[in-house]
């Protein structure tokens, strides 16, 4: 595992990075792996409140839970720490 | 197909062997590939291809020839395999040769796929991810295959080696064995070259510069992608492919009687794969949703042409094209000097193409501008522009569901009025309107105002502007930006961009909100008249007392809202979560409003929050406006929302910083009468509204012979809806009762202002014979005409219009020791229901049902009318400011006995008070406040 540092999104937002999807909604922050559990595509779309895999159309809600296949699993949550001083997130990702 | 199965050859072009042309295409592909080696960097695959397209026309052409010869090689090889299949070659050549040929088929696909992966763009990276996952499913050796064939991480070195060496050599060796020659025939190669050279010149393969909402991969694998879309267990697809390959290799070894079954099964599988490919290529759109091929075609940029090799200005080739958001932004070669942006939207940060689309990987203006949009704020494409996943996707989701976009409330009321829906709170979307009478009425007379209406061309926002999505509010032209519009089409690139920011100008709201309730014009003190401009010009007071809007409507001066006079604009009060939706599907706009007058005008302590306690969006706005001063507390509304521009001053009172001028206002504290028990049930608007536009005697009809403009379809249609009004009034509105949900979730009744919502005669086109409906529905309104001074007591308690009776003379007549109210209507009675044309309810009558356009809203009951007029009776002699009058109504029952003999009350006075006290307790004031 390695740690990456990413900027804390301002406002309600979903931000897509190579290593993580960072979601802030109503003051809550969640971080997920961007890798689709179905076939490893990087999820990079938010539409109508859902995260969508562009490769085969799996859909996940903002809590990372699967809402529509073909994937059979939700997104993997990543552990993180908020650095309030630098307004960044320190996220543990697989090296 | 049956011929292929039976193996009967025919001398037709599509049944030619085509092996030699395939070999020739392969060799051309190899040669062009070798020529590309010096300019391709496996460590920087995307950037090296991008630079090729931007700066190296010869290299770009070589890449094009490489691409098209590879495509020709694949197609011709497939046809050649089909030819062998047709001729049952498995029975005529040795098993070893057959096996090697069979194995070369996946090698051909692999060499093509690795070529796709070497593009290095997002699509190829996603394909690499899928390939690695699929390879990992290969039994026993999956993990090893992944590492050997694809390497690890984003580096493409392993892929490059296999593409350029391993696979190429393998295919060439098999081909040499199969064709029994080292090189293809020179004549065949010479025949292949001209079409490939031409194709490569006219159709240049592109490069994806950003992530897209669907990644289908190369065309020959779309069938597999479609299959994987349906498969929750993709390992099965891998096993099926391996099994098919094994069966194909072992085909000669199967007993002769089995082979037709195997051949038939494989032919069916090939047919299914072809169908899946057609499905994926032709019918799959964003998010892998089904879409029509026409829609897909329209959404795809079709701009690849020979112009890639030309540049109008050779100097551009010398410019260092900057990298923005992980890709070369060729747009900045010409547009680097563009100014007018806030830092967040500076092209040096976000580029040009992230908003305007087009193609940033070319220096040819025609190609760069193909597929671009000049109106990126339109909601029809905002998911690729403003609402792209790394920009404002979350906001876009909310805006798409907002009432300004769906028009749900407007539609629900209209359908209710037309008798098409019984539920005033039902949810609708303007984009899904059909062809019913209400739908066509909305399409013709209302739909232009919804936010999703596309803006057709760049233009400053004026009083006629409609729609435009994000740009409807967030785009602002200063004179320099407006001047650029006049130079469009010239040779000089524009240099000044309109501002795109949170600096929302009042004009943004004006266009749509000068309609319906007309709050935008009311706010500025303009009342719509029925005058034409020439007639208005002949009136005294022209031009200072009149205003003509872009659509020709003439407005006359009325008192403006005090907040307007103080310099406040719409967004000084209304929050982002209100206008762009808070994500809740509201039925009507009054539910979406979260601010309240007492946020600024509360008499007591004002609730406030620290910066850290604000919601993230408000924090962002506060930061952008640089209001984040340590220790500052921001005013919070009872509805839970906090104001970004209103904060507590040193004295604990609110201070409002105006967005337009930056001026700091100190709002006045509400008067004591506002907070007393007698008026606790009233909204601020009930007393603090000076006038509201009111349409009297409306007539809506449908003319089947005329032509109407369908705003949704953007075309003329047969049959036109027409609206006529007898009169426009602009005076104090009626009062009524509205049920509002409080922050604690409790429903409470509040007295507020109402105006005619749907008071009209409606002629519906029902079959051959028109059906006429008469409606007398009022709507709760917020007219936005707050005066500096509230209306006086008599303007409510002795005003027939305020009570809903309509305009006229309301007189308190005392005869001896009896007294009664009498009303003489100004407007004639409507033949439809006998009430005056401008009335809401009958004079001192219990109102019936179905009187408003909102669920839970109603006019005053008879008892409420009487209580109101009881106060009005006293006011016929006294003023409301006399202390004893205030005392009387604080405890009417007590003072009733001590009233003077000349204080003659209506016969129903005691009964009305007793009824109210019986329900609520003692005292008229408490009764009113606690009901």
Q: Report pLDDT digits (tens) over A72-89.
A: 999 999 988 887 666 678
**β-strands B727-731, B715-724 pairing:** unpaired
User: DSSP string covering B516-568, please?
Assistant: TT-HHHHHHTEEE-S--HHHHHTSTTTTTTEEE-TTS-EEEE-PPPHHHHTT-
Under the banding of pLDDT at 50, 70 and 90, the label for residue B766 is: low
Model pTM score:
0.84
**From B130, B230, B389, residue closest to A70, measured CB to CB:** B230
Cα separation, B156 vs B151, whole angstroms: 7
Lowest mean pLDDT, pick from B554-568, B603-617, B840-854: B603-617
Give me the pLDDT at residue B883, please: 78
Give me the pLDDT at residue B306, please: 59
A31 to chain B, closest Cα gap in Å:
15
Cα separation, B523 vs B510, whole angstroms: 10
Q: Check the CA dihedral B136-B142-B146-B149 and report its sign.
A: negative
From chain A, which residues contact B within 8 Å (Cβ)? 9-16, 24-27, 35, 38-42, 44-49, 52, 54-57, 59, 69-72
Model pLDDT for residues B179-236, shown as the tens digit of each residue: 889 999 999 999 999 999 999 988 888 888 888 888 999 999 999 999 999 999 999 9
pLDDT at B925 over 60: no
Give me the pLDDT at residue B767, please: 62
Q: Which residue has the higher pLDDT, B97 or B545?
A: B545
Q: B130 and A40: CB-CB below 8 Å?
A: yes
- The percentage of chain B sitting over the pLDDT mark of 70, rounded to a whole number, equals 94
pLDDT at B694 over 70: yes
pLDDT at B564 over 80: yes
B498 to chain A, closest Cα gap in Å:
24
Give me the pLDDT at residue B670, please: 86
Q: Please list every residue in chain B whose beta carbon sits closer than 8 Å to the beta carbon of residue A46.
A: 389, 393-394, 397
pLDDT at B128 over 80: yes
Give me the pLDDT at residue B569, please: 95
Lowest mean pLDDT, pick from B52-56, B485-489, B649-653, B811-815: B485-489
CA distance readout (Å), B773 to A94, B414, B603, B706, B829: 69, 13, 48, 21, 17
Give me the pLDDT at residue B397, please: 84
Q: What's the rounded mean pLDDT across residues B669-681?
A: 78
Q: What's the rounded mean pLDDT across residues B832-840?
A: 93
Q: What angle do CA B673, B674, B675 make, to 5 degrees?
A: 95
CA distance readout (Å), B510 to B400, B473, B522, B581: 20, 10, 10, 19
Under the banding of pLDDT at 50, 70 and 90, the label for residue B69 is: very high
Q: What's the rounded mean pLDDT across residues B303-329?
A: 74
Q: Please list every residue in chain B whose beta carbon sits closer than 8 Å to the beta carbon of residue A27.
A: 615-616
Give me the pLDDT at residue B858, please: 96
Give me the pLDDT at residue B922, please: 46
Q: What's the rounded mean pLDDT across residues B398-420?
A: 93
Cα separation, B869 vs B797, whole angstroms: 6
**From A14, A39, A72, residue closest to B393, measured CB to CB:** A14
Give me the pLDDT at residue B149, please: 92
Q: Please list every residue in chain B whose beta carbon sits closer than 8 Å to the beta carbon of residue A34.
A: none
Backbone torsion region of residue B533, taken as left when φ is above 0, otherwise alpha when ψ lies between -120 and 50, otherwise beta: alpha
Give me the pLDDT at residue B727, please: 85
Closest residue by Cα to residue A61 from B231, B394, B233: B394
Question: H or E segment at B35?
Answer: helix B19-36
Q: A39 and B214: CB-CB below 8 Å?
A: no
Give the torsion through C-alpha atoms of B276, B281, B282, B287, to 10 deg. Answer: 100
**Tokens 């016929």 appear where?**
B876
B66 to chain A, closest Cα gap in Å:
26
Burial of B607 (0-12, 13-18, 19+ CB in 10 A): middle
pLDDT at B12 over 70: no
Model pLDDT for residues A31-57, shown as the tens digit of each residue: 999 999 999 999 988 887 889 999 999
Q: What's the rounded mean pLDDT across residues A8-18?
A: 72
Q: What's the rounded mean pLDDT across residues B443-464?
A: 90
pLDDT at B415 over 90: yes
Q: Which of B325-334, B405-414, B755-764 has the highest mean pLDDT?
A: B405-414
Q: What's the rounded mean pLDDT across residues B452-457?
A: 90
Find which of B394, B611, B618 to mutate to test the A interface (most A CBs within 10 Å of its CB).
B394
pLDDT, mean over chain B: 88
Under the banding of pLDDT at 50, 70 and 90, the label for residue B889 is: confident
pLDDT at B686 over 70: yes
Give me the pLDDT at residue B679, please: 79
Return the residue of B nearest to A84 by Cα: B612
Under the banding of pLDDT at 50, 70 and 90, the label for residue B7 is: very low
CB atoms within 10 A of CB A83: 12
Q: Please list every residue in chain A whose beta carbon sits closer than 8 Å to the beta carbon of residue B126.
A: 41-42, 54-55
What SS3 class is residue B801? Answer: helix
Lowest mean pLDDT, pick from B3-17, B30-44, B141-155, B638-652: B3-17
Under the banding of pLDDT at 50, 70 and 90, the label for residue B1 is: very low
Q: A39 and B134: CB-CB below 8 Å?
A: yes
Backbone torsion region of residue B581, taken as left when φ is above 0, otherwise alpha when ψ lies between -120 and 50, otherwise beta: left
Give me the pLDDT at residue B928, please: 42
pLDDT at B768 over 70: no
Give me the pLDDT at residue B5, please: 39
A vs B, Cβ pairs < 8 A, gives 112
SS (H, E, C) B104-127: HHHHHHHHHHHHHHCCCCHHHHHH
User: Which residues make Cβ contacts (< 8 Å) with residue B818, sequence separation at least 6?
Assistant: B904, B907
Find which of B122, B229, B276, B612 to mutate to test the A interface (most A CBs within 10 Å of its CB).
B229
Predicted complex ipTM = 0.92
**From B287, B616, B619, residue closest to A57, measured CB to CB:** B287
Q: A45 and B215: CB-CB below 8 Å?
A: no
Q: Which residue has the higher pLDDT, B930 or B634?
A: B634
Lowest mean pLDDT, pick from B391-400, B547-556, B844-853: B391-400
**From A12, A14, A40, residue closest to B133, measured CB to CB:** A40
**Tokens 């609708």 appear where?**
B428
Q: Please list every residue in chain A whose beta carbon sits closer than 8 Å to the beta carbon of residue B289.
A: 57
Give me the pLDDT at residue B740, please: 80
Burial of B737 (0-12, 13-18, 19+ CB in 10 A): buried
User: Which residues make Cβ contacts (< 8 Å) with residue B292, sequence separation at least 6?
Assistant: B283
CB atoms within 10 A of CB B216: 21
Task: Report residue B316 as tokens.
Answer: 């551009």
Q: A40 and B394: CB-CB below 8 Å?
A: no
pLDDT at B97 over 90: no
- The percentage of chain B sitting over the pLDDT mark of 90, rounded to a whole number, equals 57
pLDDT at B35 over 90: yes
Under the banding of pLDDT at 50, 70 and 90, the label for residue B486 is: confident
Give me the pLDDT at residue B363, please: 87
pLDDT at B930 over 50: no
pLDDT at B118 over 90: yes
Under the banding of pLDDT at 50, 70 and 90, the label for residue B931 is: very low
Q: Check the CA dihedral B201-B202-B208-B209 and report its sign.
A: positive
Model pLDDT for residues B334-386, shown as the tens digit of each residue: 898 899 999 989 999 999 999 999 999 988 888 888 889 999 999 999 988 99
Task: Report residue B663 as tokens.
Answer: 């001026």
Give me the pLDDT at residue B693, please: 94
pLDDT at B6 over 60: no
**From A35, A44, A56, residue closest to B288, measured CB to CB:** A56
A63 to chain B, closest Cα gap in Å:
14
8-state DSSP, A49: T
Burial of B677 (0-12, 13-18, 19+ CB in 10 A): middle
CA B752 to chain centroid: 32
A67 to chain B, closest Cα gap in Å:
13
Closest residue by Cα to residue B120 from B438, B361, B420: B361
In 3-state terms chain A splits into helix, strand, coil percentages (rounded to 5) of 0, 45, 55
pLDDT at B309 over 70: no
């Amino acid at each position: 595992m390695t740690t990456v540092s990413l900027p804390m999104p301002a406002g309600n937002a979903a931000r897509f990075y190579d290593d993580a999807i960072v979601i802030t909604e109503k003051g809550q922050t969640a971080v997920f792996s961007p890798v689709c559990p179905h076939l490893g595509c990087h999820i990079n779309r938010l539409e109508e409140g859902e995260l969508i895999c562009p490769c085969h159309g799996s859909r996940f809600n903002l809590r990372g839970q699967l809402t529509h296949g073909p994937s059979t699993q939700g997104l993997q949550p990543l552990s993180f720490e908020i650095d309030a001083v630098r307004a960044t997130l320190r996220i543990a990702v697989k090296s | 197909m049956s011929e292929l199965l039976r193996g009967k050859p025919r001398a037709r072009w599509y049944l030619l062997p085509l092996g030699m042309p395939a070999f020739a295409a392969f060799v051309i592909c190899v040669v062009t590939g070798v020529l590309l080696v010096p300019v391709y960097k496996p460590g920087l695959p995307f950037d090296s291809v991008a630079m090729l397209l931007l700066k190296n026309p010869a290299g770009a052409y070589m890449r094009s020839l490489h691409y098209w010869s590879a495509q020709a090689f694949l197609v011709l090889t497939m046809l050649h395999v089909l030819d062998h299949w047709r001729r049952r070659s498995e029975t005529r050549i040795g098993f070893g040769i057959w096996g090697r040929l069979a194995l070369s088929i996946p090698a051909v696909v692999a060499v093509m796929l690795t070529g796709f992966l070497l593009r290095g763009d997002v699509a190829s990276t996603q394909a690499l991810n899928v390939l690695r996952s699929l390879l990992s499913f290969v039994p026993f050796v999956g993990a090893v295959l992944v590492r050997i064939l694809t390497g690890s991480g984003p580096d493409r070195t392993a892929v490059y080696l296999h593409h350029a060496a391993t696979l190429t050599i393998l295919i060439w060796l098999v081909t040499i064995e199969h064709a029994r020659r080292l090189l293809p025939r020179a004549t065949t190669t010479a025949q292949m070259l001209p079409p490939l050279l031409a194709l490569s010149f006219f159709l240049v393969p592109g490069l994806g510069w950003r992530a897209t909402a669907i990644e289908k991969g190369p065309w020959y694998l779309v069938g597999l992608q479609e299959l994987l879309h349906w498969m929750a267990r993709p390992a099965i697809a891998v096993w099926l492919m391996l099994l098919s390959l094994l069966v194909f290799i072992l085909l000669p070894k199967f007993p002769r009687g089995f082979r037709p079954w195997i051949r038939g099964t494989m032919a069916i599988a090939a047919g299914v794969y072809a169908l899946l490919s057609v499905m994926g290529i032709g019918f799959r759109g964003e998010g892998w949703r089904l879409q029509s091929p026409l829609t897909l075609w329209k959404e795809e940029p079709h701009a690849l042409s020979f112009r890639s090799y030309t540049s109008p200005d050779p100097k551009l080739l010398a410019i260092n094209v900057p990298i923005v958001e992980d890709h070369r932004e060729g747009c900045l070669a010409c547009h680097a000097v563009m100014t007018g942006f806030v830092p967040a939207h500076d092209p040096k940060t976000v580029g040009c193409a992230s908003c305007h689309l087009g193609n940033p990987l070319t220096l040819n203006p025609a190609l760069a501008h193909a597929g671009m949009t000049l109106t990126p704020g339109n909601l029809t494409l905002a998911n690729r522009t403003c609402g792209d996943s790394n920009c404002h996707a979350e906001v876009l989701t909310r805006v798409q569901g907002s009432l300004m976009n769906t028009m749900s409330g407007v539609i629900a009321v209209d359908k209710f009025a037309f008798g098409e829906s019984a539920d005033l709170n039902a949810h609708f979307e303007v984009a899904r309107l059909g062809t019913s009478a209400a739908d066509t009425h909305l399409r013709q007379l209302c739909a232009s105002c919804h936010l999703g209406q596309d803006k057709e061309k760049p233009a400053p926002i004026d009083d006629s502007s409609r729609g435009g999505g994000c740009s409807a509010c967030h785009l602002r032209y200063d004179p320099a930006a407006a001047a650029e519009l006049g130079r469009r089409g010239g040779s000089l690139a524009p240099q000044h961009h309109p501002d795109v920011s949170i600096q929302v100008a009042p004009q943004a709201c004006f266009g749509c909100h000068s309609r319906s309730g007309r709050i935008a014009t009311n706010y500025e003190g303009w009342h719509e008249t029925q005058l034409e401009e020439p007639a208005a010009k002949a009136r005294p007071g022209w031009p200072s007392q009149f205003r003509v809007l872009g659509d020709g409507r003439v407005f006359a001066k009325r008192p403006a809202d005090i907040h307007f006079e103080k310099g406040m604009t719409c967004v000084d009060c209304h929050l982002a979560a209100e206008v762009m939706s808070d994500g809740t599907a509201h039925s009507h706009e009054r539910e979406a409003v979260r601010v309240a007058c007492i946020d600024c005008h509360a008499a007591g302590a004002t609730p406030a929050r620290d910066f850290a306690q604000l919601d993230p969006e408000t924090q962002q706005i506060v930061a952008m406006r640089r209001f984040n001063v340590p220790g500052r507390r921001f005013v919070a509304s009872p509805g839970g929302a906090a104001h970004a521009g209103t904060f507590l001053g040193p004295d604990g009172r609110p201070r409002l910083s105006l967005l337009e001028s930056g001026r700091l206002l100190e709002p006045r504290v509400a008067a004591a009468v506002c907070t007393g028990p007698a008026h606790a049930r009233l909204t601020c608007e009930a007393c603090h509204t000076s006038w509201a536009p009111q349409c009297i005697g409306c007539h809506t009809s449908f003319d089947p012979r005329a032509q109407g403009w369908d705003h949704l379809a953007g075309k003329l249609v047969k049959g036109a809806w027409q609206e006529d009004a007898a009169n426009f009034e602009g005076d104090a509105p009626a009062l009524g009762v509205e049920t509002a949900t409080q922050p604690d979730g409790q429903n409470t009744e509040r007295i507020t202002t109402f105006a005619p919502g749907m008071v009209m005669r409606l002629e519906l086109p029902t079959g051959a014979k028109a059906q006429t409906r008469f409606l007398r529905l009022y709507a709760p309104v917020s007219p936005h005409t707050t005066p500096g001074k509230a209306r006086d007591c008599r303007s409510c308690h002795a005003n027939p219009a305020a009570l809903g009776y309509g305009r006229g003379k309301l007189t308190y007549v005392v005869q001896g020791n009896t007294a009664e109210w009498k009303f003489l209507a100004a407007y004639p009675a409507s033949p439809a229901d006998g009430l005056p044309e401008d009335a809401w309810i009958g004079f001192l009558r219990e109102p019936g049902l179905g009187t408003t356009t909102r669920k839970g809203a109603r006019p005053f009951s008879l008892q409420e009318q009487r209580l109101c007029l009881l106060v009005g009776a006293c006011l016929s002699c006294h003023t409301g400011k006399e202390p004893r009058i205030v005392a009387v109504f604080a405890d009417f029952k007590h003072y009733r006995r001590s009233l003077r003999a000349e204080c003659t009350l209506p016969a129903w006075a005691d009964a009305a008070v007793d009824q109210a006290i019986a329900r609520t307790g003692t005292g008229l004031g408490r009764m009113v406040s606690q009901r």
